[in-house]
A and B are shown apart, each in its own frame.
Chain A
Amino acid sequence: MPVVWSALWRNRAESVLTLLALSVAFALFSVMIAINAAYEQAIYDTRIDRLIVTCAFDCGTIPLGYREQLARLGGVSAVGGELWVGGGKDPDEHHLTTVTFMDEGMRSAWPELPMTRADWRALDISPTGIFLTRTAAARRNARIGDTMTMNAGPGSGTDGSGTWFFTVLGFIADPTGWGQQWSPNMIVGNLRYFQNSGNPDERDLVNFLRVAVDRPEHARAVCREIEAWFTNATPALSCVPARENVEELMDANINMRQISLGIGAAGLFMILFLCANGTAESVRERLSEFGILQAIGFGNGRIAWLVILEAAAPTILAALIGSAVAPGVGMFLSHLAIKGVINIPAVRASPVALGWALAAALLIALLSAVAPLYRLLRTDVAAMIARR
């Protein structure tokens, strides 16, 4: 190790510059791996035994009354209704404020929603109450007990004013998942409030029915049965298992899963030659040193280890630094995404990303050591000492 250390520290400025370049590239690589992993996790987090039921022909809403009919189908264990009502702008001016009204069936149909039994009870006894996700609460600086208003447009309410008043009952964790799962900027309200106070023509309508099936392997069959059962109804229904829906949405949009891997690979390719050039220069300048080491009994194996270690030390250190920086960059990107129109899943540090970074660091070190080692092992000791 002292030999490796002295070799690295021989030209401090250049070693530090190499380390900085490698660290930036590994930070980028780790962020890209984390983004890829976040998408994979979003798919994994979406359960196979959950179905999303919507109107088949672009009609926007479906009658809540379908809920009971769906619940009677074989394989269906719970059904819940969900309606979005939007109005006004968020304080950040980027998003419409949207309240997701839910009925009591959602508690069993989609138990992944991070609401406790007590939260559901509070929502049940207080129809004007709302729960905000941590992101939604932070964006509005909301506190428990605050009154929040939303203007959903003339005619949306019974009184014709369109202004809705809500009381903040509490906060819930940002839900996992993506796509037509839950948004991190989500406000959960009680569907009963809308049914009691909404426009009479729209009271018993919902955007989605979410269905839980008893066994994951039944999901597709139940979906097909729902579509067949309601094919001649007005409106007809369309059904998709939630996980398939997420996968399809990811493919319909800019495919960040593929792109992230390509960018990460380009970042590594960029530093591969820098690292290889640094190792080659170092070996060339220390040719006589290697000759003396061989003359005093260092075998080819030990010389090879020295060169590989010298190449690996900065790459592994850079991989660690890059992996440490990556979550910060990832959070910044997630923040940007939430402010924009596209949502990307939350990007977090993961042992998988660190593992990939370390593996890539070793691979780069090995590739960087190949050419200098080939030269070293083909040169005889006398020539090396004479620096020929």
Chain B
Amino acid sequence: MSELRQIAAVCVVGIGTLRDRYVPALVIVIGMACVVGVLTSMLSVTAGLTRAYLRAEDAARAIVWAEGADFDQSRSLKPDVIGTILDAPGIAREADGVPLADPEFMMWLPPVEGFAAGSLQLRGIGPAGLALRPAFRIVAGHMFGAGMRELAVGVGAARKFGLHVGSEVRLRDGKWPIVGVFSCGADIIESYLVGDALTVMAARRSPGFAQVIVQLVDTQAYPGFQKWLMENPAIDVSVERKTDYDLRVVGADTSFFTRMAYIIGVMMALGSLFGVVKIMYGAVRARTREIGTLRAIGFGSTPLALSVLLEAALLGAVGAVVGAAIAWLIFDGRQMWVWGAFKLRVSPHLWVLGLAWAIITSLLGGLFPALRAGRLPPSEALRAE
């Protein structure tokens, strides 16, 4: 019998006896389910935030801000430099020739009862801001008017702060009504209020934008666009691809949490690894006579060792699927707030990561028991009780 057929046959025999050893097998499955469940649940925060910030259309977008002021609340980009920025080559244009670029800014509103200062934010956007966000839809009321003291609230902020059409928020020059509620394909902007940038800026009594979001004609246009702006002596700005900028923002928000998820994942995997070693040693002990018989009828030590490894990997994989499924059922799509509303996401990438995590842990755990199974002398194994 070829080695491959021996491996297949021994695996079938081993898996067939799992029914008799279902309790220890269940221990591995539950252990791995816990490891993968915790890991994927924690990483679903990062995956959710990344999806809230990163949009497919961002690949051909750039973001421009005043040198040294790369934060949304800055007001360092003075209105007089905007025209120069819009003259840069490579900017896509609307049918009427208007550049597809929007100078925007963010501002914090006074604390809402029960929420930290800075929780409720207002984004000032211009006409191109809507063109840059094709998923933007008014779901209640109507859109704020240009030049009007009106605001629209994103569905995330509306839910979090209990705001609705007819609510009012305080700005520096008095109360502004909310005239509409919008959604934007789960974009992070759903966590904010939006208003006409120039009108809000006048009310804020502090001219200046934080950044200009630019739609480029294509992804290849970026180097020329960046070079033109960086080498222009009339302005002092920084430029970055929007995807890079967003990844940096998400990374800043989640870097510690992501690292912590992996550290906890490693710790739990280590605990689970010891458990797998113990259980698989027990499995080899329970199958000693069976192993002896197989060796006596001509099976090699490699197929026997591999069958133990494969059994461990199979149990780990089942545990990973169970853990990821539980995490998906509980957390996927659940609304969360980390300075902005987003939905937790147990992505396919996390399923694969969890599966790999569990299989590697199980294989490591099964290694020594597998070696023991392969090295069992048939005569001794056959005498086992």
Residues of A within 8 A of B (CB): 13-14, 17-18, 20-22, 24-25, 27-28, 54, 56-59, 153, 235-236, 238, 240, 245, 248-249, 251-254, 259, 262-263, 266-267, 269-271, 273-274, 277-278, 280-281, 329, 332-333, 336-337, 340-342, 344
Question: In the complex, what residues of A have CB within 8 A of residue B115's CB?
Answer: 248, 251-252
- In the assembled complex, the CB of A174 is this many whole angstroms from the nearest CB of chain B, namely 18
Interface string of B263-293 (1 = CB under 8 A from A): 1100110111111011101100000000000
Contact flag A270-B109 (CB < 8 Å), given A21-B278, A238-B117, A248-B114: no
| Cβ-defined partner of A57 (8 Å) among B30, B73, B110, B279 | B110
Chain B CB within 10 Å — which of A56, A57, A251, A344 has the most?
A: A57
- Say yes or no: A56 contacts B119, CB within 8 Å: no
- Say yes or no: B267 contacts A245, CB within 8 Å: no
- Say yes or no: B278 contacts A236, CB within 8 Å: no
- Say yes or no: A236 contacts B172, CB within 8 Å: yes
Interface residues of B in 190-204 (CB under 8 A from A): 204
- Say yes or no: B116 contacts A270, CB within 8 Å: no
- Say yes or no: A28 contacts B252, CB within 8 Å: no
Question: In the complex, what residues of A have CB within 8 A of residue B279's CB?
Answer: 274, 277
- Say yes or no: A341 contacts B37, CB within 8 Å: no
- In the assembled complex, the CB of A371 is this many whole angstroms from the nearest CB of chain B, namely 10
- Say yes or no: A337 contacts B35, CB within 8 Å: no
Question: In the complex, what residues of B have CB within 8 A of residue A336's CB?
Answer: 256, 259-260, 263
| Cβ-defined partner of B27 (8 Å) among A25, A153, A273, A337 | A273
Question: In the complex, what residues of A have CB within 8 A of residue B259's CB?
Answer: 336, 340
* Cβ-based interface call for B111 (8 A): yes
* Cβ-based interface call for B305 (8 A): no
* Cβ-based interface call for B34 (8 A): yes
Question: In the complex, what residues of A have CB within 8 A of residue B26's CB?
Answer: 273
Question: In the complex, what residues of B have CB within 8 A of residue A153's CB?
Answer: 68
Determine the distance from Cα of A273 to Cα of B277 in the docked complex, in whole angstroms.
15
| Cβ-defined partner of B274 (8 Å) among A24, A267, A340 | A24
- Say yes or no: A57 contacts B172, CB within 8 Å: yes
Residues of B within 8 A of A (CB): 23-24, 26-27, 30-31, 34-35, 37-38, 41-42, 45, 68, 73, 107-111, 114-119, 170-172, 204, 206, 252-253, 255-257, 259-260, 263-264, 267-268, 270-275, 277-279, 281-282, 337-339
Query: Can you show 13 pairs from A to B with CB atoms below 8 A apart?
Result: A17-B277, A17-B278, A24-B267, A56-B170, A58-B109, A262-B41, A270-B271, A270-B275, A277-B279, A333-B263, A341-B256, A342-B255, A342-B257
Contact flag A27-B278 (CB < 8 Å), given A248-B115, A248-B116: no
- In the assembled complex, the CB of A4 is this many whole angstroms from the nearest CB of chain B, namely 19
- Say yes or no: B117 contacts A28, CB within 8 Å: no
Top 8 nearest A-B pairs (CB, nearest first) are: A340-B256, A248-B116, A24-B271, A21-B274, A270-B34, A17-B278, A57-B172, A58-B107
| Cβ-defined partner of B23 (8 Å) among A21, A59, A280, A341 | A280
Determine the distance from Cα of A273 to Cα of B31 in the docked complex, in whole angstroms.
8
Determine the distance from Cα of A271 to Cα of B281 in the docked complex, in whole angstroms.
17
| Cβ-defined partner of B38 (8 Å) among A266, A337, A344 | A266
- In the assembled complex, the CB of A226 is this many whole angstroms from the nearest CB of chain B, namely 13
Question: In the complex, what residues of B have CB within 8 A of residue A240's CB?
Answer: 111, 117
- Say yes or no: B337 contacts A267, CB within 8 Å: no
| Cβ-defined partner of A267 (8 Å) among B108, B271, B277 | B271
- Say yes or no: B30 contacts A273, CB within 8 Å: yes
Given contacts A20-B274, A21-B271, 17 further A-B contacts (CB under 8 A): A18-B275, A21-B273, A24-B268, A57-B172, A58-B107, A58-B204, A236-B172, A245-B117, A248-B111, A254-B257, A267-B271, A270-B34, A270-B272, A274-B275, A274-B279, A280-B23, A329-B267
Q: Chain B: which residue is nearest A277 at the CB level?
A: B27
Contact flag A57-B274 (CB < 8 Å), given A249-B116, A266-B37, A340-B259: no
Determine the distance from Cα of A25 to Cα of B270 in the docked complex, in whole angstroms.
9
Question: In the complex, what residues of A have CB within 8 A of residue B24's CB?
Answer: 277, 281
Q: Chain B: which residue is nearest A340 at the CB level?
A: B256
Determine the distance from Cα of A253 to Cα of B281 in the docked complex, in whole angstroms.
44
Question: In the complex, what residues of B have CB within 8 A of residue A236's CB?
Answer: 172
Question: In the complex, what residues of A have CB within 8 A of residue B37's CB?
Answer: 266
Question: In the complex, what residues of A have CB within 8 A of residue B339's CB?
Answer: 252-253
- In the assembled complex, the CB of A279 is this many whole angstroms from the nearest CB of chain B, namely 12
Contact flag A253-B338 (CB < 8 Å), given A17-B274, A266-B34: yes
| Cβ-defined partner of B119 (8 Å) among A54, A248, A333 | A248
- In the assembled complex, the CB of A202 is this many whole angstroms from the nearest CB of chain B, namely 14
- Say yes or no: A270 contacts B267, CB within 8 Å: no
| Cβ-defined partner of B278 (8 Å) among A18, A28, A56 | A18
- Say yes or no: A245 contacts B172, CB within 8 Å: no
Contact flag A274-B116 (CB < 8 Å), given A58-B73, A58-B204, A266-B34: no
- In the assembled complex, the CB of B327 is this many whole angstroms from the nearest CB of chain A, namely 10
Question: In the complex, what residues of A have CB within 8 A of residue B270's CB?
Answer: 24
- Say yes or no: A25 contacts B271, CB within 8 Å: yes
Q: Chain B: which residue is nearest A15 at the CB level?
A: B278
- Say yes or no: B282 contacts A281, CB within 8 Å: yes
Determine the distance from Cα of A24 to Cα of B272 in the docked complex, in whole angstroms.
9
Q: Chain B: which residue is nearest A251 at the CB level?
A: B116
Question: In the complex, what residues of A have CB within 8 A of residue B267's CB?
Answer: 24, 27-28, 267, 329
Determine the distance from Cα of A252 to Cα of B117 in the docked complex, in whole angstroms.
9
Determine the distance from Cα of A22 to Cα of B278 in the docked complex, in whole angstroms.
12
- In the assembled complex, the CB of B325 is this many whole angstroms from the nearest CB of chain A, namely 15
Chain A CB within 10 Å — which of B255, B264, B281 has the most?
A: B264
Q: Chain B: which residue is nearest A23 at the CB level?
A: B271
| Cβ-defined partner of B281 (8 Å) among A13, A259, A266, A274 | A13
Contact flag A271-B275 (CB < 8 Å), given A24-B270, A253-B339, A341-B253: yes
- Say yes or no: A238 contacts B111, CB within 8 Å: yes
Question: In the complex, what residues of B have CB within 8 A of residue A273's CB?
Answer: 26-27, 30-31
| Cβ-defined partner of A252 (8 Å) among B23, B31, B35, B337 | B337
Contact flag A270-B119 (CB < 8 Å), given A240-B111, A341-B256: no
- Say yes or no: B116 contacts A342, CB within 8 Å: no
Question: In the complex, what residues of B have CB within 8 A of residue A58's CB?
Answer: 73, 107-109, 204
Determine the distance from Cα of A54 to Cα of B117 in the docked complex, in whole angstroms.
9
Determine the distance from Cα of A248 to Cα of B116 in the docked complex, in whole angstroms.
5
- Say yes or no: B274 contacts A277, CB within 8 Å: no
- In the assembled complex, the CB of B31 is this many whole angstroms from the nearest CB of chain A, namely 5
